[in-house]
Amino acid sequence: MKNTLIAPSVLAADFANLQRDIEMINASEADWFHIDIMDGVFVPNISFGMPVLEAIKRHATKTIDVHLMIVEPDKYISTFKKLGADILTVHIEACPHLHRTIQAIKTEGMKAGVSLNPHTSVDLLEDVINDIDMVLIMSVNPGFGGQSFIENTYDKVKKLKALIDRKGASTIIEIDGGVTNKNAKQLAEAGADVLVAGSYVFGAADPIATVADLKKITAL
Ligand code: DX5
Ligand code: ZN
């Protein structure tokens, strides 16, 4: 049986009640905390940075999955390790020396993730897929929560899954953006291992029940 992981995106939490929302996710069936770091340069929005992650880490009891939407991520790899990141994901579009960046993340003792924007082909991962712990496929254009899911994502997941299998890699696949109960099962069937959900979870009347429902419908 396949256990699809659910990673609520803290970007959609109530920042004035952050401890409450973190404890709610601790108490839920969610598997990871997804942390979106935006710099206003790589993406047209600024989210939050190191002090907020430090505060989240003080309360979070689950895996910390950090998604860097920033230019020059190499500058901050050791900082994110110190802040408690378990998985550090960088964007391929922001990394001219991707192989070096992946090695630096792993040398720090974190899992290395690589994210692809909607226009970026999975074929670009051919020569590094065996070095990567996770590929994060963006199913919206990065920068904002609450956007609509891009339908082409299913084909992209299947194509990536085929590449991973062909290369004998153990890389897992995470999907980020517009995930709801309408697309979660189909994503899991296509090959997704981790689903990020922000507004769908935190905007729900009962986020704990919403996470439980996502877990249930994606258990294949
Ligand atoms: C978008 C972020 C996502 C976002 C997801 O740039 O990377 O993680 O928080 O939010 P929803 O689930 O609302 O699309
Ligand atoms: Zn994200």
Ligand of minimum distance to the alpha carbon of 198: 1
Contact 153, 187 (CB under 8 A): yes
Give 219 Cα–ligand 2 centroid separation in angstroms. Answer: 22
Q: What angle do CA 66, 99, 31 make, to 5 degrees?
A: 25
Active site residue 206: no
Which ligand minimizes its atom distance to the CA of 139?
1
Q: What is the pTM of this model?
A: 0.98
Pocket test for ligand 1, best of 33, 56, 147 (most atoms within 8 A of CB): 147
Superfamily of domain 5-217: Aldolase class I (3.20.20.70)
Active site residue 36: yes
Q: Which atom of ligand 1 is nearest to the CA of 199?
A: 13
| Identified catalytic residue from 31, 36, 133, 193 | 36
Give strand pairing partners of 5: 194
Residue 156, ligand 1, Cβ within 6 A = no
With a 6 Å cutoff on the Cβ, whether 44 touches ligand 1 is no
Minimal-distance CA residue to ligand 1 atom 10: 145
What CA–CA distance (Å, rounded) separates 197 from 202?
A: 8
For residue 86, what are its two tokens?
Answer: 């378990």
Residue 69: phi, psi to the nearest 5? Answer: -110, 65
pLDDT tens for each residue of the chain, 220 residues long: 899 999 999 999 999 999 999 999 999 999 999 999 999 999 999 999 999 999 999 999 999 999 999 999 999 999 999 999 999 999 999 999 999 999 999 999 999 999 999 999 999 999 999 999 999 999 999 999 999 999 999 999 999 999 999 999 999 999 999 999 999 999 999 999 999 999 999 999 999 999 999 999 999 9
Q: What residues does 65 pair with on adjacent strands?
A: 34, 87
- Does any ligand 1 atom lie closer than 6 A to the CB of residue 96? no
